[in-house]
Amino acid sequence: DKHSSFMTPEQYKEMQVESRGHFSGIGAALGTETKDGEAVKKDGKAVVIVIEVFEGSPAMKAGLMARDIVLKVRQENEKEGTPVRDPEDAKNKLRGKKGTKVFVTVERNGSVIELPAITRDDIKIRSVAKKVVDGICYIDLKGFIDETADDLEEALKSCQVLGPNPAVIISLRGNPGGNLWSALEILSYFSKNPNDVMLTIETKSKKDVHTVGNTTGAFADPATKQ
C-alpha cells in the first residue's frame, strides 16, 4: 500500500510524542531539509541541521540557530561527544530528563562551535504560528497535534483585533500531517452545515465507503475530544 509505511517501535514512540506535543528536551526541530524544503549536504552527503529553534527555549538561550549543522552531542557524564548519524539519532541524544545538561557541537558558516551547556526543560511543540502583515492575519499550521485545533481557535480570535471580519490566510506549506481528528475538528470551525462531509474512507475494493459528517459539537470536552 503506497499510503502506508512500516514503523519501528522507536519511530512509533516518537510519533506519539509529537502527537501529544510535549516532551523534555532543548526545544529545536531537526531534519535534513530547511523549512523551505532545501536539502542541506556536506561532501555530497545529507547532514542533520536545525530547522527551527523554538522561541524562549533552552536551545535559543544557548545560541543554537536555524541552519546550524549538528555534528556531535555530549551528555554531561561523557568526556567526548559522539557524532550524530541522522535526525532520529540526534533527537534521542538531545532529549532527556528535565534539568539534565547536554552539550552540542555545530558547524556554522564553516566554523565548528561547541555551544555552552544546554539544560533540558519541558517543551511544548507549537503547531500554530500567527503574524499580521499589512492588515492581513497570516496563520501557519505546522502540523496537526492534539492541541492544534485549540491553538488555531485562539489565533483566529486574536485576529479579531483587526476588525469584525479580518482578512485571514491559513498556510499549510510544509505541514507533514498528523492527528486526523485534530484536522476534522479544525474543519468544523469553518462549517455550520451538519450535512457537510468532512472525511471519506474507502476500502481497496471500494465496496465499503464510510463518511464522517460535520463534527460541530462533537468535541465538547477539550480533554477527551468526545
> Residue 120: what pLDDT?
96
For 38, other C-beta atoms within 10 Å of its C-beta total 9
> Is residue 69 within 8 Å of 76, Cβ to Cβ?
no
> Residue 216: what pLDDT?
52
> Is residue 53 within 8 Å of 60, Cβ to Cβ?
yes
Strands 28-31 and 49-53: antiparallel
Cβ partners under 8 Å of residue 216, min gap 6: 188, 191, 192, 194
Q: Which three cell numbers stand for residue 169?
A: 490566510
Query: Does residue 217 carry a pLDDT above 60?
Result: no
Average pLDDT of span 190-210: 72
Average pLDDT of span 51-74: 93
Residue 208 confidence class, pLDDT cut points 50, 70, 90: low
What distances in angstroms separate CA 132 from CA 35, 37, 56, 160, one per listed residue? 20, 24, 20, 11
Q: Which three cell numbers stand for residue 120?
A: 533540558
- Counted residue by residue, the chain has a size of 226
Place of cell 535534513: 32
- How many whole angstroms separate alpha carbon 53 and alpha carbon 26? 9
Query: Does residue 224 carry a pLDDT above 60?
Result: no
The whole-model pTM stands at: 0.65
